[in-house]
Chains A and B, each alone.
Chain A
Amino acid sequence: MTPRSIIAAIAGIVFGVGLAVSGMMDPAKVRGFLDIFGSWDPTLIFVMGGATLVMGIAWLVQRRFDRPLADSRFHLPNTSGIDRRLLGGSALFGIGWGLAGLCPGPALASLATRPLQAAIFVAAMIAGMAVFRFTLEPRD
């Protein structure tokens, strides 16, 4: 394994432990966060708050570095250009999130704890990604 792969695996483990501790692997709880007109559960705000706090510091540190520890450069997406794809795709994702109470991270993590249900969701998610690939994905 390359150093990069090892770093990615460690990051994944920390991510998985974080998801498990946070409560976000409970779809009913996530749905409770979105249920602002019902019995609202604000826990996800604390999860997002904690995560963006640490990640915000990481972005400040990143500015002082020419390159990451184990690669020759940073590979970062554009931050500007709000278009219909971004908004339409996000709106669709929100529908899925609200229907099942699952987003990609917790769904994958749940393969360890609720293998059957998680596998059904993840298989459908990958199928949805494949549909995108063969329909709306831009081609050069």
Chain B
Amino acid sequence: MPFDYLNGLVGGLLIGLAGAIMLLGVGRIAGVSGLTARAVGLSDSGPPRAMSALFLGGIIAGAALVEFAISPIEARFPPSLMLLIAGGLVTGFGTRLGSGCTSGHGVCGMSRLSPRSLAATATFIASGIATVALSNHLGWGW
């Protein structure tokens, strides 16, 4: 477990570095939900579409680099198709309505001490905790 914490810290430092490169390099927030909407043509604001798509492509390439060149990544996915689909739908809708997700609000906004991002992050963490607790209680946790 402590080794997990160290990996978490190192991974977090890199995620922060990526956000710093975006902010100081191109003056943008490294928010994955907003950049995704932008890349697929579902948002009117944000960086040019090609730039957004390259950021997202970089994320996939970076994960592939670790998986195939360093060591396989442990990943236990939800056991049912319904959880993936329902989870994806509300995540997509909710992050657009709430103007951000874990990266934009949780990392970039919280470190900026943005009141909006602090409120958003507290809300999605509380909601996530409630969802996990409720689903476990109802017997469809995993």
Contact = CB atoms under 8 A, between A and B. Distances in A.
Interface residues of B, number: 113
Interface string B98-142: 110111011111111111110111011111111111011000001
Nearest to B126: A94
B11 A24 contact: yes
A88 B110 CA distance: 18
| Majority secondary structure of chain B interface residues (helix, strand, loop or mixed) | helix
Interface residues of A, number: 117
Contact of A10 (B21, B98, B102): B21
Interface in A3-55: 4-29, 31, 34-38, 41-55
B93 A15 contact: no
A126 B8 contact: no
Contact of A36 (B24, B32, B129): B129
A60 to B, nearest CB: 10
Contacts of B56: 12, 108
Given A12-B18, A92-B93, A120-B84, A23 B25 contact: no
A15 B15 contact: yes
Given A8-B26, A18-B17, A90-B124, A99 B36 contact: no
A98 B42 contact: no
B93 A21 contact: no
Contacts of A8: 22, 25-26, 28, 47, 51-52, 54-55, 58
Contact of A103 (B25, B102, B112): B102
B107 A52 contact: yes
Contact of A53 (B16, B77, B89): B16
A31 to B, nearest CB: 6
Nearest to B64: A112
Interface string A65-106: 101111101111111111001111111111111111111110
A137 B135 CA distance: 30
A55 B37 CA distance: 23
Interface of A: 1-2, 4-29, 31, 34-38, 41-59, 61-62, 65, 67-71, 73-82, 85-105, 107-114, 117, 120-133, 136-137
12 contacts: A6-B54, A15-B58, A23-B7, A47-B12, A51-B12, A53-B111, A55-B20, A69-B24, A70-B26, A89-B98, A94-B123, A95-B128
